[in-house]
């Protein structure tokens, strides 16, 4: 297992990797739950009197959201109620001068790690540890903390290089995310284990079913992925109408796998019995799946009868895991499925983990309280990997110590 902040010596110069990757609208970085979560780690380190040097990335080179971290420093400062210095440099002379000038309790954010050429190529930790970026920064700090669980599936320099050259520790976000998201593989539950799977990516749902079929008693399906399963079960749904590109490619690529999963695991898989669509007056309309005879409309949510079927299954469960939304919940008319299952989880005292960047957003959007869930993950890609038991490079590197 990895070491945590509880194991850190006092008065250290600590280099901390966060994941502050955020939506950017018209050049403006949007505040989001990642800041709030990482604030806990940063505050704890600063209050303990460490000198805190933060690293994070934003976007990918070439993308509109590939911007400086200057705004991130201000947003983070508002979450920790103390100043966060910023230096527009990753590991050059300016960065080193700023690090060396830190006093106990000071917090400094370095520039976007992906502006450094050595950060991105996916390479082994040994290669990353030997980069100028890692070697230079390592000389000016005493310890490394990785708190960026949601980026830990990347074998990038700031995530896997430092544990080989510095004493390395997991931050509070890393610790809680790791424990909760791995729990489906590592914990034994006394009662029924249920998994709600939806969203837009069929391969995520397939991976989960292939890897967790023996751990999960019931899979409750919805979203685009659920429609593909309904189509494989012989229903006239899951076709791309004009202007859509959700279904056809995914159907071609995954049809056989979905059909054999339905064949082999049919008893564990619950499909929607009704679906919702936008009617002629722009209201929500619903139709029983059994009554769908033509591929003439897009379905944007599971229907109310489906929620009524899923609800008691959730309430009877010992543990519930959620990956992917059951509908286009960003539009209130089509949030019934997603909020229906989330409310059922919130109202029961089952162990629960909700993940997927988009899906977990529905909790705040519809006035639910994160405290009513066991764990709400801020990870997307890393969460799905953890669920399916795939190792995360950043976590493995921390464990090496
Ligand atoms: N029937 C649907 N039609 C269009 N979009 C849908 C539908 N069902 C789910 N979605 C969309 O799926 C998105 C979540 O999908 P995905 O990215 O796979 O999950 P997450 O990011 O939560 O892991 C939501 O933003 C939601 O709008
Ligand atoms: O936001 C992130 O991942 P996510 O979209 O899977 O949640 C991470 O910061 C990783 O970013 P990347 O997918 O550009 O490597």
Q: Does the structure show a pLDDT above 80 at 400? A: no
- What's residue 220's pLDDT? 98
Among 33, 324, 379, 388, say which to mutate for ligand 1: greatest number of ligand atoms within 8 Å of CB.
Answer: 324
Residue closest via CA to ligand 2's atom 12 equals 151
Report residues whose beta carbon is within 6 angstroms of any ligand 1 atom: 198-201, 223-224, 299-300, 324-325, 327-330, 356-359, 380
Q: Do domains 5-177+394-398 and 182-368 have the same CATH topology?
A: yes
Distance of CA 80 from the midpoint of ligand 1 (Å): 32
389 is known to lie in a ligand binding site: no
Three-state secondary structure of the chain = CCCEHHHCCCCCEEEEECCCCCCEECCEECCCHHHHHHHHHHHHHHHCCCEEEEECCCCCCCCCCCCCCHHHHHHHHHHHCCCCEEECCCCCHHHHHHHHCCCCCCEEEECCHHHCCCCCCCCCHHHHHCCHHHHHHHHCCCEEEECCHHHCCCCCHHHHHHHHCCCEEECHHHHHHHHHHCHHHHCCCCCEEEEEECCCCHHHHHHHHHHHCCCCCEEEECHHHHHHHHHHCCCCCCCCCCCCCCCHHHHHHHHHHHHHHHHHHHHHEECCCEEEEECCCCCEEEEEHHHCCCCCCCCCEECHHHHHHHHHHHHCEEEEEEECCCCCCCCHHHCHHHHHHHHHHHHCCCEEEEECHHHHHHHHHCCCCHHHCCEECCCCHHHHHHHCCCCCHHHHHHHCC
Each residue of 187-220: b (16+ CB within 10 Å) or e?
eeeeebbbbbbbbebbebbbbbbebbeebbbbbb
Which residues line the pocket of ligand 2, CB cutoff 6 A? 19, 21, 60, 150-151, 154, 357, 379-381
pLDDT at 401: 55
34 is in an annotated binding site: yes
Helices 223-232 & 202-212 angle (0-180, nearest 10): 70
Strand partners, 24: 29
What are the tens digits of pLDDT across the range 34-46?
999 999 999 999 9
Q: Which of 171, 189, 172 is nearest to 321 (CA)?
A: 189
Alpha carbon 351 to its chain's center: 18
- The gap between the terminal CA atoms of the chain, to the nearest Å, is 9
> Which atom of ligand 1 has the smallest separation from the CA of 299?
1
% of the chain with per-residue pLDDT over 90? 94
Q: Does 12 count as an annotated binding residue?
A: no
Confidence of residue 356 (pLDDT cuts 50, 70, 90): confident
359 marked ligand binding residue: yes
10 contacts 49 by C-beta, under 8 angstroms: yes
> So where are the chain's domains?
5-177+394-398, 182-368
Distance CA 148, CA 56 (A): 8
From the alpha carbon of 59, which atom of ligand 2 is closest? 14
Tell me whether residue 228 is exposed, middle or buried, using C-beta atoms within 10 angstroms of its C-beta: 0 to 12, 13 to 18, 19 or more: buried
Distance 20 CA to ligand 2 centre (A): 10
Q: What is the average pLDDT score of the chain?
A: 96
What is the Å distance from ligand 2's center to 150 Cα?
A: 7
Mean pLDDT for 49-66 is 97
* pLDDT of the residue at 359: 87
Which is the closest atom of ligand 2 to the Cα of 381?
6
Over residues 312-332, the mean pLDDT reads 97
The residue whose CA has the least distance to atom 12 of ligand 1 is: 199
Residue with tokens 């708190």: 147
- Asked whether residue 315 is marked as a ligand-binding residue, the answer is no
For residue 358, pLDDT over 90 is answered with no
Which of 21, 29, 37, 203 for mutating ligand 2's site (highest number of atoms within 8 Å of CB)? 21
352 confidence band (pLDDT: 50, 70, 90): very high
The whole-number average pLDDT for the span 263-288 is 97
* Percentage of residues of the chain with pLDDT beyond 70: 100
The CA distance from 86 to 177, in Å, is 27
Architecture of domain 5-177+394-398: 3-Layer(aba) Sandwich (3.40)
182-368 sits in which CATH class? alpha beta
User: 154-165 pLDDT, tens per residue?
Assistant: 999 999 999 999
Please check the confidence at residue 252 and state whether its pLDDT lies above 90. Answer: yes
Cα 322 to middle of ligand 1, angstroms: 12
Q: Which atom of ligand 2 is nearest to the CA of 154?
A: 15
**ipTM metric:** 0.94
Centre of ligand 1 to C-alpha 371, Å, is 23
Q: Are 175 and 146 in contact (CB under 8 A)?
A: no
Ligand 1 center–CA 330 separation, angstroms: 9
Report CA(324)–ligand 1 centroid distance (Å).
6
Given a cut of 70, whether residue 337 has pLDDT beyond it is: yes
Integer Cα distance of 104 and 212 in angstroms:
47
């Amino acid at each position: 297992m990895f070491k945590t902040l509880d194991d850190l010596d006092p008065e250290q110069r600590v280099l901390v990797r966060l994941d502050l990757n955020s939506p950017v609208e018209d050049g403006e970085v949007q505040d989001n739950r990642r800041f709030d979560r990482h604030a806990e780690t940063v505050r704890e380190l600063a209050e303990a009197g460490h000198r805190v040097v933060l690293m994070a990335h934003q976007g990918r080179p070439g993308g509109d959201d590939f911007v400086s971290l200057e705004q991130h420093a201000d947003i983070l400062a508002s979450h920790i109620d103390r100043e966060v210095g910023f230096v527009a440099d990753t590991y050059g002379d300016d960065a080193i001068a700023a690090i060396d000038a830190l006093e106990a309790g000071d917090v400094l954010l370095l520039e976007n790690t992906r502006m450094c050429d050595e950060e991105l190529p996916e390479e082994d930790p040994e290669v990353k540890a030997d980069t100028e970026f890692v070697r230079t920064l390592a000389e000016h700090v005493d310890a490394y903390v990785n708190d960026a669980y949601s980026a830990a599936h990347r074998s990038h320099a700031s995530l896997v290089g430092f544990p080989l050259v510095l004493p390395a520790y997991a931050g509070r976000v890393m610790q809680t995310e790791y424990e909760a998201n791995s729990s489906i593989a590592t914990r034994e539950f006394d009662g029924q284990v249920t998994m709600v799977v939806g969203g837009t990516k069929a391969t995520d749902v397939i991976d989960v079913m292939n890897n967790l079929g023996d751990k999960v008693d019931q899979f409750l399906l919805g979203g685009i992925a659920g429609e593909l399963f309904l189509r494989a079960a012989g229903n006239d749904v899951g076709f791309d109408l004009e202007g859509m590109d959700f279904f056809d490619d995914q159907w071609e690529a995954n049809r056989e796998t979905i059909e054999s999963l339905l064949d082999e695991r049919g008893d564990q898989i619950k499909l929607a019995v009704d679906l919702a669509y936008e009617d002629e007056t722009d209201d929500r309309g619903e139709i029983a799946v059994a009554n769908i005879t033509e591929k003439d409309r897009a379905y944007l949510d599971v229907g109310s009868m489906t929620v009524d079927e899923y609800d008691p299954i959730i309430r009877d469960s010992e543990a519930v895991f959620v990956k992917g939304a059951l509908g286009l919940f960003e539009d209130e008319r089509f949030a019934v499925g997603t909020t229906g299952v989330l409310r059922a989880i919130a109202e029961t005292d089952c162990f629960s983990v909700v993940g997927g960047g988009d899906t977990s957003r529905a909790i705040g959007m519809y006035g639910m309280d994160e405290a009513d869930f066991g764990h709400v993950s801020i990870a997307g890609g890393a969460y799905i990997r953890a669920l399916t038991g795939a190792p995360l490079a950043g976590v493995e590197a921390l464990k090496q110590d």
